[in-house]
């Protein structure tokens, strides 16, 4: 039932007059939190659009990277998730844009995300460096992991929704859900080719985090979808983190497909999983709030 719902939703997206209209549809019913649209420094001296969702007073901040296969997606399409995390988790959430492939292949988008992280840590919004966390969905989860590997330094937590972690297209989930569940095996192969067209970086952990040294990474909260070619990426990431001595939790939501987290208007499990993620964030700051 959930898989069919997502397929219907994807077809519905294609009928919208504009991406803004699609984003407005999916955001309907999102938590009401104060927001501020602003810009942050990019990795090549440019500025990038961002949106701050204000959490509790004196709360830490989650730097959030949207999904879209490194080639698409937007801040607006992640409105529901970011608003829920701010409202229920108590954190402020800074959702950032970044340059997209194929016009801007790897590592352009990552460079933008890292620049935003450095800006935050440098006091760009007045947050203390040790009170910054990273999060993202799908390709955004990949960028969050890559930022943590690239930049080092203290991070409160990594919050990842069905992240792209590896480039092994022969896992069980890649074959089991290769077609008919939204994101296909062929599409993921195409997205890697668009992001890294010359295949120059396939052994670079900034592109393929499972090929990196995960020791010393911050605590990681992972939420994955069962009916997803990337499900085994999350399983492997959790296993590798455990081997590296990094605390982590993995929740695989049954009966849902890739990208479900912003589909709460049609899929109740999406908002349930956002509440799960928000609870994990709140647990980190509860001692400060009591």
Question: Would you name the residues annotated as active-site residues?
Answer: 138, 228, 258
Unique residue bearing structure tokens 């955004």: 140
Q: Pairing mode, if any, of strands 220-227 and 248-257?
A: parallel
Give yes or no for a contact between 158 and 218, defined as CB atoms under 8 angstroms apart. Answer: yes
Bridge partners (DSSP) listed for residue 50: 38, 96
Strands (E), the chain: 35-41, 47-53, 61-65, 92-96, 132-137, 158-161, 220-227, 248-257
Q: Which helix or strand (DSSP H or E) is residue 108 part of?
A: helix 108-121
**Beta-ladder partners of 223:** 161, 251
**Distance, CA of 255 to CA of 3 (rounded, Å):** 7
Q: In what order do the strands lie in the sheet with 47-53?
A: 35-41, 47-53, 92-96, 61-65, 132-137, 158-161, 220-227, 248-257
């Amino acid at each position: 039932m959930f898989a069919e719902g997502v397929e219907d939703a994807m077809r519905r997206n294609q009928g919208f007059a504009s991406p803004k209209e699609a984003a407005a549809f999916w955001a309907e019913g999102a938590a009401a939190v104060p927001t501020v649209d602003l810009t942050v420094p990019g990795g090549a001296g440019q500025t990038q659009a961002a949106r701050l969702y204000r959490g509790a007073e004196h709360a830490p901040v989650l730097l959030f990277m949207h999904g879209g296969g490194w080639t698409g997606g937007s801040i607006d399409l992640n409105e529901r998730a970011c608003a829920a995390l701010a409202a229920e988790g108590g954190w402020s959430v800074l959702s950032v844009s970044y340059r997209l492939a194929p016009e801007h292949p790897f590592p352009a988008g990552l460079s933008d995300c890292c620049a935003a992280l450095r800006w935050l840590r440098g006091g760009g919004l007045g947050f203390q460096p040790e009170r910054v966390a990273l999060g993202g969905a799908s390709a955004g989860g990949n960028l969050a992991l890559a930022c943590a590997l690239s930049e080092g330094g203290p991070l409160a937590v990594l919050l990842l929704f069905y992240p792209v972690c590896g480039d092994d297209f022969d896992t069980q989930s890649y074959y089991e859900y290769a077609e008919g569940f939204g994101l296909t095996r062929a599409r993921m192969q195409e997205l890697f080719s668009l992001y890294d067209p010359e295949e120059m970086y396939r052994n670079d952990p900034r592109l393929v985090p499972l090929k990196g040294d995960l020791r010393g990474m911050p605590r990681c909260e992972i939420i994955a979808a069962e009916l997803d070619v990337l499900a085994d990426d999350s399983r492997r990431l959790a296993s590798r983190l455990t081997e590296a001595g990094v605390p982590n939790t993995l929740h695989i939501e049954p009966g849902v497909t890739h990208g479900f987290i912003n589909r709460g208007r049609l899929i109740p499990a999406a908002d349930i999983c956002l509440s799960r993620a928000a609870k994990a964030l709140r647990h980190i700051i509860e001692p400060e709030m009591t």
